[in-house]
Amino acid sequence: MAIGFIGLGNLGRAIASRLTDMGEELKIYNRTKSKVEDLNYEIKDSPKQLIEDCDVVFMCLFESSAVKNIFEMEDGLLSADLTGKTIIDLTTNHYEMVLDFHQQIDEKGGDYLESPIFGSVAPALQGLVTIVTSGKKETYELCKPYLEKIGKEIFYLKEPGKASKMKLINNLCLGSFMATIAECTALGEMCDIEKPKLLEILGVGGGQSLVLKAKTQKLIEEDFSAHFSNNAIYKDLHTLQDLAYSLNQPLYSAAVPKELFGKMKKDGRGEEDFCSIYQLFKD
């Protein structure tokens, strides 16, 4: 049976492409149908129609409010009979709202697997992302073969909400590393060190990281087409601060990167790749 897929943005398209490459047939729903007419998939008119045709539906949306809309809109997922249906949600959700999603799907007789993606477009196309999953153990075991088609590393944290919290914690590293690498790059150029050589040296020195490895060529070429946008990292760091507040835990290293990415959004650069924060330091 075909797999359903909702949310064909940059990351969603990459994951859908990977599933197709791995032999899966996809049927899709996207809020703006015109944005997916170039894709060679059967397009459904509503989430309800999609899940009635598919036992497993992936979602890859920007934030929890978009997930909520897909659930509760007219002819949304919750309007369907979800008995025997499974929703694998790859969205980076709010750690509190995702608890409602577990409950809502459970009450409708379906299964919900909270499975945020760690990684962006390039690794997603190759099936090299990391996935952290929360939900019922039996649902995880049944869906693991699907997850293994799109992810290299799969981790299971049973308790609902923990996968979303882990994703936010990971993105503290991601945003902080990117801000530091960007500032180092701009500073090195001010010292008349050629950017390719500078990044090569950082890549075997203190800057060695998956972040630098993934963004070196984009920084050299100043190609800021989005794999992971400034809007997305800003949203995640804001949610991370909500999490820290709920725990009465101050966050020191998250505050400055969050505001730097906020400045990118304010300057109209929110849709650019988050490595474009380099422009703040260069300018």
Q: What are the contacts of 212-216 at 24+ separation with CB within 8 A?
A: 212/177, 212/181, 214/120, 214/122, 214/123, 215/178, 215/181, 215/273, 215/275
User: How many angstroms separate the CA atoms of 28 and 39, rounded?
Assistant: 10
Give one DSSP letter per residue of 63-103, joined into a string. Answer: SHHHHHHHHHSTT-GGGS--TT-EEEE-S---TTHHHHHHH
Token pair 């087409």 is found at 225
- Helical H segments across the chain, by residue range: 10-21, 47-53, 64-72, 97-107, 121-125, 137-150, 162-190, 195-204, 210-221, 230-246, 255-266, 278-282
Catalytic option among 27, 44, 48, 167: 167
35 is catalytic: no
Annotated active-site positions, please? Answer: 167
